[in-house]
Amino acid sequence: MQIEKLIKDADIKPTSARKEMLRLLAGASKPLSCRDIEAQISMDKATFYRNIAIFGLKLSLSRVCVLYVKRR
């Protein structure tokens, strides 16, 4: 799968973070959790979840990410 073509065809701005995330997802042998992805890619949480949302809308990527919040 050509990541650059996939991004271009979906009319997504081709940032390095998005390319890195899609390469990781495309190369995975099993479904990845958000924690799995975050452990392998360095980016802030807002950017991470924004990209997951964009992929869900533009690429019809099935997504289920749970944000773990520390309870007081």
Q: Is residue 71 part of a domain?
A: no
pLDDT, residue 70, reads 47
Is pTM beyond 0.85? Reply is no
- Determine the Cα angle at 59 with ends 61 and 51, to 5°: 75
Q: Is residue 50 part of a domain?
A: yes
Domain extent for 49: 3-58
CB 14 within 8 A of CB 37: no
Q: How many domains does the chain have?
A: 1
Residue by residue, pLDDT tens for the chain (72 residues) are 588 888 999 999 999 999 999 888 888 888 888 888 888 998 888 898 899 888 888 887 765 454 444 455
Q: Is residue 40 part of a domain?
A: yes
Helices then strands (H, E): number in the chain? 4, 0
* Residues 6 or more apart in contact with residue 58 via CB below 8 angstroms: 10, 11, 12
Q: Is residue 51 part of a domain?
A: yes
